[in-house]
Amino acid sequence: MNNEAANSNSLQDVIKAAEQAGAKGLPPVHLWEPDYCGDIGLRIGRDGQWYYANSPIGRKRLVRLFSTILRHDDDGEHYLVTPVEKIRIEVEDAPFVAILMHREGAGREQCLKFETNVGDIIEAGAAHLLRMEIDETTQEPSPYVHIRARLEALIARSVFYDLMEIGEIVGDDFGVWSAGVFFPLAPASMLGAQNG
């Protein structure tokens, strides 16, 4: 059997196991410790697009299924995990992208809910933190929101602009409130302190 056929069979095995494991919500991937089965050419691009053998996976239902068995391990790698298989998946940035934000309330009382490209919806707060990284070379900001376990979503540029519009200065930081938690997005000094 050639390598491509072996990878295809392994992918089919993962799909079948994921369907069985996730029949009742998110599978308990944190409890599973199967043997490592290698790398079969799965990748998630920075834009949230999933690829198999460098071809985009167009079936949203399949991507959603895979997202439920994704795990980020202590070795820094991401894996698709079933009770019997553990397959490495390359993740260019974050495994998910927050594509929508819903705002309820305003100021300190507001709640911000984020929806990802795979349909997860979370409310930013103590259990789902927002954080910002600045690229040392380009000084480009990359905002993230925690989704579950050790998995995050990169906040899409349009959603980031929405966040910046509702931000306020608290102390030395410019940021947003959600569920009673203040999340700094940038030092207030970087904004010229135009908001009060």
| 4: pLDDT strictly greater than 70 | no
> Could you report the per-residue pLDDT of 53-107, keeping only the tens digit for each?
999 999 999 999 999 999 999 999 999 999 999 999 999 999 999 999 999 999 8
The pLDDT of residue 193: 43
Domain limits for position 108: 96-191
Closest alpha carbon to 130 in 147, 115, 116: 147
End residue of a domain, out of 66, 91, 116? 91
End residue of a domain, out of 44, 76, 91? 91
Decide if 33 is inside a domain: yes
Number of structural domains found in the chain:
2
Same domain, 11 and 85: yes
The pLDDT of residue 18: 62
CATH code, 148: 2.30.270.10
Give CA 81 to chain center in angstroms: 16
Q: Which residue has the tokens 């490592």?
A: 36
Q: Characterize the bridge pairing of strands 36-44 and 86-91.
A: parallel
Decide if 71 is inside a domain: yes
> Could you report the per-residue pLDDT of 111-162, keeping only the tens digit for each?
999 999 999 999 999 999 999 999 999 989 999 999 999 999 999 999 999 9
| 42: pLDDT strictly greater than 90 | yes
Closest alpha carbon to 155 in 181, 136, 129: 129
The pLDDT of residue 25: 77
pTM of the full structure: 0.86
Same domain, 100 and 137: yes
The pLDDT of residue 189: 87
Q: Which residue has the tokens 């009742």?
A: 24
The pLDDT of residue 195: 45
CATH code, 52: 3.10.540.10
Q: How far apart are CA 131 and CA 154, in angstroms?
A: 10
End residue of a domain, out of 44, 66, 91? 91
Decide if 68 is inside a domain: yes
Backbone angles phi, psi at 156, to 5 degrees: -55, 150
